[in-house]
Amino acid sequence: MPPLPLIAPQPPRLSELGEALRRVEASGVFSNNGPEVRAFEAEVTERLFGGTGACLAVANATLGLMIAIRDAAGGHPRPGTLALMPALTFAATAQAASWAGLTPLICDVDPDDWSASAAAEEQLLARHGERIGVAVPYATFGNAIDLDRYAWIAQRYRVGVVVDAAASLGTLDERGRGFGTGAPFATVFSMHATKTFAVAEGGLIHSADADCIARLRAMANFGFVEGRSASLPGINAKLPEVLALMARAKLTEIDDVLARRAAVEAAYRDALPGFGVQRPLGMRRASQFMPVLLPAELAPQREAVAAALAVEGIGTGCYFSPHLGQQPEFQATALIEPTPVADRISAALVSLPVTDAMTPDDARRAAGALVAVVEKLSRSTPRIAASGASTSIATTIVIGGGPAGTALLTAATKRNLLPGFAKGLVVVERDAAVGGGRLGRYAITSDSTAQTFLTAVKNNAHPELAALVDHPVGRAVAAYQDALGVPLVEAGPLLRVTGQRLADLTRAHGGEVLTGHEALHATAAGGGLWRVRLRRLSDGQEIDRLARNVVIATGGHQPLDRLSGQSVAGVPLVQLAGDRLLQSDDVLTVGGFDKVADLLSSRRAPRIAVIGGSTSALTTVALLLRGRPALPLGAGGITLLHRRPLRPFYPSVEAAHAEGFHDFGPDDICPVSGFVYRLAGFRLEARELVLRMLGVGGLAPDPRVALHRITGDDDAAARQVLREADLVIAALGYRPFALPVFAQNGAPIPLAAGAGRAMVDRHCRVVGSDDAAVPGLFGIGLAAGFVPWGALGGEKSFVGQANGLWLWQNDVGLMIVDQVLGQRERAAA
């Protein structure tokens, strides 16, 4: 049987275009938007786009993407502007964004149609806001993705849109129109020899907006709008006349080519009912090849599948594997979100041949060969066991791979202890990646400086981490070195990329990182061991892992049941506030301010009560004051009700006195650092608000904010504030997500955290309700309840708990690392 190559280029034959070539030679015009290019643009607009809008032919699709992305991002995007795109696309998509001066922001894909995940896109658009200059969706494998949705996105988020439709020239949308018809933004197609619309090289940009095409035409000609003076960013992206001849010839036969290929694809789909295939979108697509997913257990044997099919004369490919987020260039230069769906699809993809010469019978032959190879390999391949299933005993299981869990790893790197600590380590994380946790979902600034975030990687002993200072995520954080904190939407990406590299280092040194897993409980197993029950979220399968130590780094939350038992000024809070009550966490997350604005939209001069004296309370007030569009707050529109005095942090006694602040004594000064209110004092944005409200240094208080210190259960004024408020926001702190733990006989071990007390003691050991440390259990992170002591510093007067990324990544994290490694050394001795 004749071979079936994956791709068999069939561009028009130049040898058959002699008369047309002589016409070009006679004209003396070989480039510069000559008559052949203009004729092709007019013909393709009429034939494939119903005569609407306009088209621009360019030298290749990558150049087309470059100028279209640059134009959609405003022509002169600011450094750090992001281009949002899916992971499952060709490298040219991200390369074009980089050459246009933007940073790729790579998101996951939809599990059915394999295009950009709508939920991921909208989450990132909300999180990053105006930093995203352009969205670059990919019409995956010629699919007719929903362009009306992207027109809505452009309006809703005020973001540019450029559609990478490299393989879609000739695809018909759900209304039977050429894909891209009517879209108000640029849609960029390829005419490379390997595409269905095969020319030697070239690209095409279509838009319903003729002005957009006119700008792009000028940009493709060095930015010349009139004469030879550049008034736009430009490059030479013009299509030569000879290639335009070939494009015109291809246009005359494209309908027949598309019909034959559609029949081949249909035959494949009928012959491969048990395989994962992409959900088709639109009435017809310009099939370049047939992408198929291997069964999960055979994905690691993809090369063997390809080799077996090659023996049968059937060519294969792996588009797109690795996907964008797995390629070194973009790992070093892009922002990459967790991509579990793209990871799974990319690992299992096999592309089967679709060529102009093939028939449906050829497709059935290739499909039959694939089925036979898969059946043969399946008989000799055991099914994938539960992820992480092992009879080995882990040294330590860290439950939670967010900022606190990965802080342990960061702390270890700072003393070059990670190689030893990672041996026998298992990190368990619910999300698809470690590092970020929920931190990047908050629409507020941090109470840590940019320098604090960067100390985790700057001059790190591991080059992979040290390089992040110059990575886009590091540069984005560094831009706030002189600001009052870092927006957490900027800090989150740095933590995620750091977490990814820490995970790679952990695996390289003998550890495991189990993403997509959650820990259900831990049970004492005897002999100083713990049995931790894990559940894989993808299929619910549960496994047990044995470990000598367990670190609980699951973060904190604001439990609803806490509100039902909370009293303010002697009256239950729910009784005072009713259905006007929100928790601060709901307000501080991305979209929270919009929720508040919507709830208060009918109020001309709304009154808001914020309860609490913590950083989250002050940060909530700050967010309400600076939100946009501004709330119509009158004088005293926000009342902060607090029990303890509000104290600002100062780096020294002298600094406090210099600003006229004297409200502190010897017990309020840290003996190690000399800081005033080192632990109890507010910092950065919250500190600035406190200084204003206290009138320190002659600052004028914000008239929109009133302070009310609750005096006790008989504080009638506090009760009145709550009853009259249009909205009540409870900022009452966080409690830990404490892991359920059981004794060897199955009886629950009651923990101090369950009684509302600190989860850990001064050595980060989890304590029971009797305040005795539970052997082998440690805790770290938000709401764990750790209080610095001894060499860690802190003022004697401090009451409460200290939470801070710098502490976790340094002294607190090392406290746990040292105990685990010391335990190992003692066992070896």
Instruction: State whether 426 and 527 are in the same domain.
Output: yes
Q: Are residues 628 and 695 in the same domain?
A: yes
Same domain? For 723 and 752 the reply is no
Decide if 564 is inside a domain: yes
Quick check: is 375 in a domain?
yes
Give per-10-residue mean pLDDT for the chain (829 aa).
93 92 91 95 97 98 98 94 97 98 97 97 91 97 97 96 98 97 98 96 98 97 93 96 96 96 97 95 95 94 96 96 96 93 96 97 97 92 50 91 95 95 96 86 86 93 96 93 88 93 96 96 95 93 95 90 85 92 93 94 95 94 94 96 95 96 96 95 93 93 96 93 96 89 95 91 95 96 91 90 87 95 71
**Residue 461 within any structural domain of the chain:** no
Residue 445 lies in a domain: no
Last-in-domain residue among 699, 715, 733: 733
Crossing angle between the packed helical segments 684-694 and 615-626, to the nearest 10 degrees: 80
- Tell me if residue 467 falls in helix, strand or coil: helix
Q: Which two tokens stand for residue 111?
A: 């599990």
Same domain, 78 and 217: yes
- pLDDT at residue 465 in the model: 96
Residue 596 belongs to a domain with what CATH number?
3.50.50.60
The reported pLDDT for the residue numbered 387 is: 44
Is residue 595 located within the same domain as residue 637? yes
Task: Please tell me whether residues 740 and 724 are part of one structural domain.
Answer: no
d(CA 57, CA 61): 9
The single-letter DSSP state of residue 317 is B
Question: Are 551 and 578 members of one domain?
Answer: no
Beta bridge partners of 57: 204
Q: Are residues 633 and 775 in the same domain?
A: no
Residues 510 and 607 in one domain: no
**Domain final residue, candidates 733, 766, 796:** 733
pTM of the predicted model, to two decimals?
0.85
On whether residue 38 sits in a domain, the answer given is no
Grouping H, G, I as helix, E, B as strand and the rest as coil, residue 352 is: strand
Q: Which domain holds residue 369?
A: 256-379
Structure confidence at residue 446 (pLDDT):
86
Domain count, the chain: 4
User: What per-residue confidence (pLDDT) applies to 738?
Assistant: 80
Domain boundary among 690, 711, 733: 733
| Amino acid at site 487 | P
**Domain assignment of residue 288, yes or no:** yes
Provide the b/e sequence for 482-507 (b: ≥16 CB within 10 Å).
eebbbbbbbbbbbbbbbbbbbbebbe
The answer on 424 and 356 residing in a single domain is: no
Amino acid 388: pLDDT: 43
Are residue 171 and residue 284 in the same domain, yes or no?
A: no
Asked if residue 480 belongs to a domain, the reply is no
Q: How far apart are the first and last CA of the chain?
A: 69
* Residue 244 placed within a domain: no
Q: Write down the pLDDT at residue 201.
A: 96
405 and 525 inside one domain: yes
